[in-house]
């Protein structure tokens, strides 16, 4: 298949024509012509296809809330060409069999590369290491291991996990939450949670685990990735660890870049998430950390939930919110329109670095001749109000409902094939 993208702006720079042939970028130049299909991309910014390190696709187990197919549609519409599917499914992705099942479902959907994450411990139980080597050697080629949703809280087990992943060229992605600190917690600690009558979910529960784990990673000489960093103190700890040469990387979610604990004032459980939305000072520190590269990546923590698990009282609701379809718009709103990131840096934080962390060879590549044609084309001048009913996800728990956000994904290409054309998913 051959396709010519006319007048697109790589990384927001000067307009060029991009010829895509047989899955790769065949030519870049001015006034290219072809007898094949042409797409008028005048004014559109083109970036490498986005890579998400943290997606919950809910299959197997909760296909009523999301499937690999519906999650893949949401991802493609968000400009993603690869997503890491978290392991907390039912059954848990803790064997070669389950990760291969998810990987096959992703291939069948054919819209994005679905990259399974393997559980660190059997059944996410936190007691016995899962078959990390078997998952790494499987067809799914797992390199990212995580008990996300739960913290690997036993330090001896965490050290052994780091030793194993080091040998596999893998990484442990830690959900940093000391389980004995936020008992019964619903909200961050401090005045606001006291006023709302909810127990505190203190920053120290996150920071204590990050401090411990960067020291363990340094001791073992292994790679550590910190999921959904949410506090100013966490950013400081990671900055310190990087300055020591620790092999630590970190991600921040779109919702932690935009929303604060003020959103929880109305007890709308849409805004219940783990880690919780925090203060405006935390949000500012997260943006600064992403801007200076202390935080490597934006990862969605896309977490679909059924209506009955959200339209209930705060304490009974499940934590988590949708993210795939609005992630890029939120980053444009919080980081590009504010002057904190250039388009090249957006490509770095949403494609290049997450692909490196996940060891995905064909993703996060530069827009250059001979490279795989994994691309997203977006209209930076578009603005739209988010309508949850219009989302491709099977669930409706978007924290951005009714909010006007900038930028629209117009086209997405996976290895030269259009997964999204004119804002419409192709499968």
Binding site for Zn ion (CB under 5 A): 148, 175
Q: Check: CB of residue 257 under 8 Å from CB of residue 230.
A: no
Q: What is the separation of C-alpha 20 from the centre of its chain, rounded to a whole number of angstroms?
A: 27
Give least dist CB 261 to Zn ion, A: 18
Q: For residues 206 and 275, is the Cβ–Cβ distance under 8 A? A: yes
For residues 277 and 260, the answer to whether their CB atoms sit within 8 Å is: yes
* DSSP 8-state class, residue 349: I
Residue 228 or 349: the one with the smaller Cβ distance to Zn ion is: 228
Q: Shortest Cβ distance from residue 179 to Zn ion (Å)?
A: 13
Q: Which is nearer to Zn ion, 175 or 272 (CB)?
A: 175
Tokens of 52: 């998400």
Query: 175 vs 287, which CB is nearer to Zn ion?
Result: 175
Q: Is position 309 annotated as part of the catalytic site?
A: no
Residue 301 Cβ, how far from Zn ion at the closest point, in Å? 6
Residue nearest to Zn ion (CB): 175
Helix/strand/coil percentages in the chain, nearest 5? 35, 25, 45
Which one of the listed residues 282, 301, 309, 333 is annotated catalytic? Answer: 301
CA 409 from chain center: how many Å?
17
- Shorter beta-carbon distance to Zn ion: residue 62 or 175: 175
Q: In terms of CB distance, is 56 or 143 closer to Zn ion? A: 56
Buried b (16+ CB within 10 A) or exposed e, 353-391: bbbbbbbbeebbbebeeeebbbbbbbbbeeeeebebeeb
Find out whether 15 and 50 touch, Cβ atoms under 8 Å. Answer: no
d(CA 71, CA 7): 31
The token pair at 394 is 């099977």
CA end-to-end distance (rounded Å), the chain: 17
Those residues whose C-beta lies under 8 Å from the C-beta of residue 398, and which sit 6 or more positions away, are: 270, 321, 322, 325, 326, 386, 388, 391
Dihedral of alpha carbons 320, 71, 422, 257, sign: positive
Give the separation between CA 155 and CA 286, rounded to whole angstroms.
27
- Residue 85 Cβ vs Zn ion, minimum distance, rounded to whole Å: 14
Shortest Å distance, C-beta 372 to Zn ion: 30
Instruction: Return the structure tokens found at 108.
Output: 């069948």
> What minimum distance in Å lies between the beta carbon of 148 and Zn ion?
4
Would you call 289 exposed, middle or buried from its count of C-beta atoms within 10 A (0-12, 13-18, 19+)? buried
By C-beta, is 25 or 210 nearer to Zn ion? 210
Closest to 150 in 3D by CA, of 169, 168, 114, 175: 175
Residue number with CB closer to Zn ion (183 or 390): 183
Residue 61 or 266: which CB sits closer to Zn ion?
Answer: 61
CB 382, min distance to Zn ion, A? 31
Q: Kindly report whether the peptide bond that precedes residue 227 is cis, defined as omega within 30 degrees of 0.
A: no
How many Å apart are CA 142 and CA 164, to the nearest integer? 13
- Using alpha carbons, list the distances in angstroms from residue 36 to 54, 418, 422: 37, 14, 18
Residue 182 CB, nearest distance to Zn ion (Å)? 13
Active site (catalytic) residues = 301
């Amino acid at each position: 298949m051959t396709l010519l993208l006319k007048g697109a702006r790589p990384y927001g720079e000067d307009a060029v024509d991009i010829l895509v042939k047989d899955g790769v970028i065949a030519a870049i130049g001015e006034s290219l012509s072809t007898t094949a299909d042409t797409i008028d991309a005048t004014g559109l910014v083109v970036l490498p296809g986005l890579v998400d390190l943290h997606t919950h696709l809910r299959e197997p187990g909760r296909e009523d809330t999301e499937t690999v197919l519906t999650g893949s549609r949401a991802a493609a519409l968000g400009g993603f060409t690869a997503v890491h599917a978290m392991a907390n499914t039912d059954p848990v992705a803790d064997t070669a069999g389950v990760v291969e099942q998810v990987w096959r479902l992703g291939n069948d959907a054919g819209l994005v590369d679905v990259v399974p994450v393997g559980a660190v411990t059997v059944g996410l139980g936190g007691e016995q290491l899962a078959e990390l080597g078997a998952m790494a050697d499987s067809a799914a080629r797992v390199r990212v291991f995580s008990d996300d949703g739960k913290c690997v809280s036993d330090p001896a087990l965490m050290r052994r996990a780091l030793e194993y992943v080091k040998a596999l060229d893998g990484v442990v992605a830690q959900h940093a939450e000391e389980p004995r600190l936020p008992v019964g917690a619903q909200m961050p600690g401090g005045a606001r949670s006291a006023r709302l009558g909810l127990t505190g979910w203190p920053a120290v529960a996150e920071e204590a685990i990050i401090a411990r784990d960067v020291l363990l990673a340094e001791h073992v000489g292994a790679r550590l990735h910190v999921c959904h960093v949410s506090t100013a103190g966490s950013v400081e700890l990671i900055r310190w660890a990087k300055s020591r040469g620790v092999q630590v990387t970190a991600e921040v979610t779109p919702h932690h870049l935009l929303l604060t604990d003020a959103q929880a004032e109305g007890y709308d459980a849409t805004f219940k998430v783990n880690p919780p939305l925090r203060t405006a000072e935390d949000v500012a520190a997260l943006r600064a950390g992403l801007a200076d590269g202390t935080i490597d990546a934006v990862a969605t923590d896309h977490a679909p939930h059924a209506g009955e698990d959200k339209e209930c009282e705060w304490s009974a609701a499940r934590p988590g919110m949708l993210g795939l379809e609005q992630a890029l718009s939120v980053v444009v709103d919080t980081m590009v329109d504010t002057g904190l990131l250039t388009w090249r840096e957006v490509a770095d934080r949403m494609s290049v670095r997450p692909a490196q962390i996940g060891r995905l060879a064909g993703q996060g590549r530069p827009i250059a001749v001979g490279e795989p044609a994994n691309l997203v084309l977006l209209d930076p001048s578009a603005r739209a109000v988010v309508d949850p009913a219009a989302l491709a996800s099977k669930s409706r728990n978007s924290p951005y409902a009714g909010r006007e956000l900038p930028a629209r994904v117009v086209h997405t290409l996976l290895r030269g094939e259009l997964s999204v054309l004119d804002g419409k998913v192709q499968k």
